[in-house]
Amino acid sequence: MKQILCSFLTSLVFCSTLLGQAYNTGTIWNDTDGKPINAHGGGILYHQGSYYWYGEFKGQGKVGNVAMDGVSCYSSRDLKNWKNEGLALRMINDSTSPLQPGCLIERPKVIYNHKTKKYVMWFHHELKGKGYAAAMAGVAVADRPKGPFTYIKSVRPNPHAWPTNFPDSLKRPLTPGETLDRKDKNFGAKRAAGYLVRRDFESGQMSRDMTLYVDDDGTAYQITASEDNSTLHVNKLAIDYLGFTGEYYRVQPGGSNEAPALIKHGGKYYLITSGTTGWSPNPARSFVADKITGPYESLGNPAVGNDEDKATTFHSQGTFILPIEGKRETYIFMADRWVPNNAIDGTYVWLPLTIENGKPVIRMKE
């Protein structure tokens, strides 16, 4: 009993120390080689005692926002000291490839498939020179968490499929006579009513800012900003996690949410998003649901602090919520401080996230 108690107390001390080290308030964070960590818009996979941090590899200047190298990977056992494992996914130096240098790769996330024994990466993918018009989801696969990941394809999710929670009365493609003009006084109502779902029925739905979540039963979902960033979609992935099933749900129609991050706590699903103000920070939003597919109830701004902290989410935009292994119901809210004019100077904000009175709360670490 004494040995078990000692082990338990040691574990508590380790977890407490680990969390104290892991928090970051936007300062430069160097890897174990003494160089700034370059893993923006990232997500973390925990596997066999190690954490793997995947993110966008940024370059100098405004052009540094496009993908010239690929997706970076760092590993750590304590969440503070991160070893650079190189590029998990490399760009393909071929002008015929969708993944050629100069395209956009944003918000990469990796999950492990216990059935196939594969590591699966999804990311927001835009074609070179096309801005944000493609709005696709790219997927790659690897045998090891560090990669190398092999690029498979980029697609728009769920072509020729209607959202499960879409009214039958609206299940028809948009006709040439039906338009969605921003100058239209009914623009917001039409958008919320699913005009863009109908517009994209043939091609597949848009996918921009995104995250991944594997539920308790092993079912995986991609949660993504769709419909011109006006509505979130919760997309069920195939058994191998490499494609979409055609089953998907609209969340907060017309609410203009992006940067989704999700956790499950106490049997409920908590979703944190941002508004759509480009690179500029804005107040975060939080939601709760009994099912991952919704419906989601709004819980307001989870940021707690002074007026500026709340208005800017601590001058950052969320990217992922990390459950701490071995520390029950303990989470880190991961976010980025973007520097669009010199992308490589972006830093990271990692703060404690708690659930208090049924609502997510994010506070600046004291």
pLDDT tens string 146-172: 999 999 999 999 999 999 999 999 999
282, 192 Cβ separation under 8 angstroms:
no
Q: Contacts for 244-248 with beta carbons within 8 Å, 24 or more apart?
A: 244/155, 244/157, 244/158, 246/158, 246/160, 246/161, 247/161, 247/164, 248/157, 248/158, 248/161, 248/163, 248/164, 248/205
Say if CB 296 and CB 308 are below 8 A apart.
Answer: no
Q: Where are the beta strands (DSSP E) in 314-363?
A: 317-323, 331-337, 347-356, 359-363
Q: Is the distance from CB of 231 to CB of 224 less than 8 angstroms?
A: no
Q: How far apart are CA 124 and CA 322, in angstroms?
A: 20
pLDDT of residue 21: 67
As a whole number, the mean pLDDT across the chain is: 93
Q: Fill in the amino acid letter for 348.
A: Y
pLDDT of residue 338 exceeding 60, the answer is yes
Mean pLDDT for the stretch of residues 267-272: 98
- Tens of pLDDT along 111-153? 999 999 999 999 999 999 999 999 999 999 999 999 999 999 9
Contacts for 52-60 with beta carbons within 8 Å, 24 or more apart? 52/85, 52/110, 52/145, 52/146, 53/82, 54/88, 54/108, 54/109, 54/110, 54/121, 55/108, 56/105, 56/106, 56/107, 56/108, 57/87, 58/343, 58/344, 58/346, 59/343, 59/344, 60/342, 60/343, 60/344
Q: How many helices (H) and strands (E) does the chain have?
A: 4, 22
Place of tokens 């979703």: 271
CATH architecture of the domain covering 31-155: 5 Propeller (2.115)
> For residue range 290-327, what is the model confidence (pLDDT) as tens digits?
999 999 999 999 999 999 999 999 999 999 999 998 78
Domain ranges of the chain: 31-155
